Amino acid sequence: MSAKPELFRLDRLKTPIGVALLVTDDDGLLRALDWENYEPRMRQLLRLQCGQIELKNARSPAGLKTALAAYFKGDLDRLGDIHWRVEGTPFQRQVWQALPKIPAGMTLSYGALAAKLGSPRAMRAVGHANGSNPISVVVPCHRLIGADGSLVKYGGGLDRKRWLLRHEGVEV
């Protein structure tokens, strides 16, 4: 007999850079945030972390949408009001826990984050973990850049990464 799929709620939020998909669990915690045109990738990341999943269209907690809307209107600190949960390997979780500690308006290179985590040669592993982050914007993977200051990659597309960084006051 197969395991029962984990049930999550799926909601949408219009933002200046596209429609965001918001996935929450029974506790009201954000489990994924991705862009409507990347829904298959979001589902795949959730499956990798949680196993079999089922998404049901339902409203996300009002506080989540309020905080995200405020962020997109310029209140950058509101991301800290959002409660979230991730699965993943211990190293991935270490990277994801470190990303919100990079203040809005600042960037860090993959190598610098690897060094902060005590693994200075693990910049590729940091990049892989960053690319597997299921919670865009709130777990701000967009704040990681190349050692030369280049934008490198972003799962939601470089145009969104550029917009998010400019929105936060980074000259790119």
| 107-118 pLDDT, tens digit each | 999 999 999 999
CA-wise closest residue to 42 among 75, 18, 70, 68: 18
- CATH ID of 6-81, from 2.60.40, 3.30.160, 1.10.1760, 2.50.20: 3.30.160
Q: What is the pTM of this model?
A: 0.94
The residue extents of the domains of the chain are 6-81, 90-167
Q: What fold characterizes domain 90-167?
A: Arc Repressor Mutant, subunit A (1.10.10)
- pLDDT score, position 172: 86
| Catalytic residue annotation | 141
The answer, yes or no, to whether residue 2 has pLDDT greater than 80, is no
Which residues, in sequence order, are CB contacts of 111 under 8 Å at separation 6+?
Answer: 120, 123, 126, 147
- Classify strands 6-15 and 53-57 as parallel, antiparallel or unpaired: parallel
DSSP 8-state symbol, 84:
B
